[in-house]
Amino acid sequence: MMEKMVFGRYLPLDSVVHRLDPRAKLLFIFVYVAIVFLANNVFTYGLLLLFTFLAIFLSKINIRFLIIGLKPLLWIIIFTFSLHLFLTKEGDLLWKAGWIEIYEGGLQQGAFISLRFLLLIFMTSLLTLTTSPISITDGLESLLKPFKKMKLPVHELALMMSISLRFIPTLMDETEKIMKAQMARGADFSSGPIKERVKAIVPLLIPLFVSAFKRAEDLATAMEARGYRGGEGRTKYRLLQWTMKDTILLLVLLILAVVLFYLRS
């Protein structure tokens, strides 16, 4: 059930994209998300599309797998597309049946907005698919360092993030286990009226919370026993290394942004 989810998972392969520095990738995504909104005509969208597919190709991730995995998000895209299609009334009237009117502008807007969605989803999933959660947190911690001066508890945030990321799969496994155990005792999670279904979740949630509390306690004890005293004066085991590739990535991004800016209408 959850094993089919692709969004937010890490796929350990060996590719150029995998070997990039997480800081570079995070910066890239940050800027990319912003420049996607620059695009507003066929050329700019075409360029972005091309660029995104090039990135997917370089990451060696099977594009079919990526598309299948994003099926749950397809509904949002279809929804926004049809919203634009039926509600935007610009340009020439293309088709009319009863009260349904479809305008050229609506069609174009809808297509562009869905494309924008698609581009964003593809690129962000590419980030999580090619970067292990641990290196994402390392990258974030390093990028957030300047904010330490503004009293932002960067180390604590990064620690919390890496612990939560680490425990997502564990908690997922546990959820599935408890679900199965309750199903074996006659619980029914997938049918019946909504009220019954909400009720059926209690036997799943309570054990999950209880074990999460217990786990937190055990983990805190284990960390203290190993001499953890907070972020002050710690050294790092995993060192991030900025290489030529990363500089090139950011340069390419800069060029892309400039080209987009000139091509937009």
Partner 1 sequence: MDIQLQEVEYRYAAGTPFEHKALHNVSFTIPSGTYLAIIGHTGSGKSTILQHLNALLQPTNGQVHIGDRIVSSEKKEKNLKDVRKRVGIVFQFPEHQLFEETVEKDICYGPMNFGVSEEEAKQRAKQVIRQVGLSEEILNKSPFDLSGGQMRRVAIAGVLAMEPEVIVLDEPTAGLDPRGRKEMMKMFATLHKERNLSTILVTHSMEDAALYADEMVIMHQGEVYQKGKPRELFSKREELFQLGLSVPEVVRFQHRFEEESGIKLEKTCLTMDELVEQLQLVHKRGEGR
Residues in contact with partner 1 by the rule CB under 8 A: 3-4, 6, 11, 62, 65, 68-69, 174, 177-178, 180-188, 191, 202-203, 206-207, 210-211
Nearer to partner 1, 14 or 232 (CB): 14
d(CA 228, CA 220): 9
Q: CB of 171: closest distance to partner 1 in angstroms?
A: 12
Of 6 and 85, which CB lies nearer to partner 1 in the complex structure?
6
Between 61 and 154, CB nearer to partner 1: 61
Q: Is 20 in contact with 242 (CB distance < 8 Å)? A: no
Residue from 199, 198, 203, 173 nearest 185 by CA:
203
- Least separation, in Å, of the C-beta of 190 and partner 1? 9
Tell me the CA distances in angstroms from 162 to 138, 142, 147, 150, one per residue in order: 8, 13, 19, 22
Three-state secondary structure call for residue 227: coil
Give the nearest distance from C-beta 216 to partner 1 in angstroms. 15
Question: For partner 1, which is the closer residue by CB, 100 or 198?
Answer: 198
Phi-psi region at 238: left, alpha or beta (left = phi > 0; alpha = psi -120 to 50): beta
Which lies closer to partner 1 via its Cβ, residue 3 or residue 92? 3
What is the enclosing helix (H) or strand (E) of 221?
helix 194-225
Q: In whole angstroms, how close is the CB of 4 to partner 1 at the nearest point?
A: 6
Minimum distance from residue 91 beta carbon to partner 1 (Å): 42
